[in-house]
């Protein structure tokens, strides 16, 4: 009996330790509801896209043959995904193809919640990292140096003239930022924006930073983006 007691005490202690260490880890705070789910969301986006393409699967056998692709505009996608060139595209081939696309282009489905983004720098106590809002369907970490994302421009109802001015400003910012950063730094920026290691998953935070004073508030998850059209 006593041994059981000790064991459950030990378990409780271990659990307690585990949970506190979780908090100690992230003064940057997770990016908000969009955050920890970020990685999984990435996967379900692929699933949703595959489900969408599989609507063409007329005989419901879980794979697409070339003649099932009645929308000839998608033949190119079909051929690109058909890794073994057997004129059949399986779910696995699609997964692989999507993964390769995702790394070269961050755009995901409009209906997705944004990725949590990298945790804020330690010690700041802010956890806005999550670029969770995406009514316009802009997903992924915010582009470094972006003056004003398109969906914000729409939300603010910028006049055409204002939009043109912002575009011109963006051009200037791009040029000057390129002049400030070294090539190496630019490459790192590019990598971060493409969801390089640590940038993509909600789970991995950049180092929590030394002894964060406070746990940062969770960044806004923001409304989920508009559903897929």
- The contact pattern for another protein, residues 188-207, with x = CB under 8 A and - = no contact, is --------------------
Residue 70 interacting with another protein (CB under 8 A) = yes
DSSP 139-183: -SSPPTT-SS-HHHHHHHT--HHHHHHHHHHHHHHHHHHHHHS-H
Token output for 29: 């705070």
Structure tokens at 17: 């330790």
Identify whether the C-beta of residue 205 lies closer than 8 Å to the C-beta of residue 118.
yes
Output 25 or 170, the one with its CB closest to another protein. 170
149 part of the interface to another protein, by CB under 8 A: yes
3-state secondary structure of 88: strand
Q: What are 89's strand-pairing partners? A: 64
Minimum distance from residue 158 beta carbon to another protein (Å) = 8
For the CB of residue 30, give the shortest distance to another protein in the complex, in Å: 24
- Residue 38 Cα distances to 20, 131, 215, angstroms: 22, 11, 20
Q: Note whether 73 binds another protein by CB under 8 A.
A: yes
Binding flag, residue 183, another protein (CB under 8 A)? no
Q: Which residues lie near another protein (CB under 8 A)? A: 45, 48-49, 52-53, 55-56, 58-60, 67, 69-74, 76-77, 98, 101, 104-110, 136-139, 143, 146, 149-150, 154, 158-161, 163-164, 166-168, 170-171, 228-229
């Amino acid at each position: 009996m006593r041994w059981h007691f000790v064991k459950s005490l030990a378990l409780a202690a271990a659990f307690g330790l585990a949970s506190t260490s979780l908090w100690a880890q992230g003064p940057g705070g997770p990016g908000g509801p969009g955050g920890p789910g970020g990685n999984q969301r990435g996967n379900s986006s692929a699933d949703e896209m595959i489900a969408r393409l599989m609507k063409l699967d007329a005989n419901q056998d879980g794979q697409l043959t070339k003649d099932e692709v009645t929308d000839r505009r998608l033949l190119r996608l079909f051929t690109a995904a058909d890794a073994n060139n057997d004129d059949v595209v399986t779910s696995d081939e699609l997964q692989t193809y999507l993964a390769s696309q995702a790394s070269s282009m961050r755009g995901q489905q409009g209906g997705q919640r944004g990725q949590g983004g990298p945790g804020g720098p330690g010690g700041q106590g802010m956890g806005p990292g999550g670029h969770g809002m995406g009514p316009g369907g802009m997903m992924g970490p915010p582009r470094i140096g972006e003056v004003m994302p398109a969906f914000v421009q729409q939300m603010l109802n910028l006049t055409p003239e204002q939009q043109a001015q912002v575009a011109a400003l963006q051009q200037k910012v791009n040029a000057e930022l390129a002049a400030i950063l070294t090539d190496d730094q630019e490459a790192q920026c590019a990598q971060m924006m493409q969801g390089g290691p640590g940038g993509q998953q909600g789970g991995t935070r950049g180092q929590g930073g030394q002894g964060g004073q406070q746990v940062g508030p969770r960044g806004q998850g923001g409304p989920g983006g508009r559903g897929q059209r």
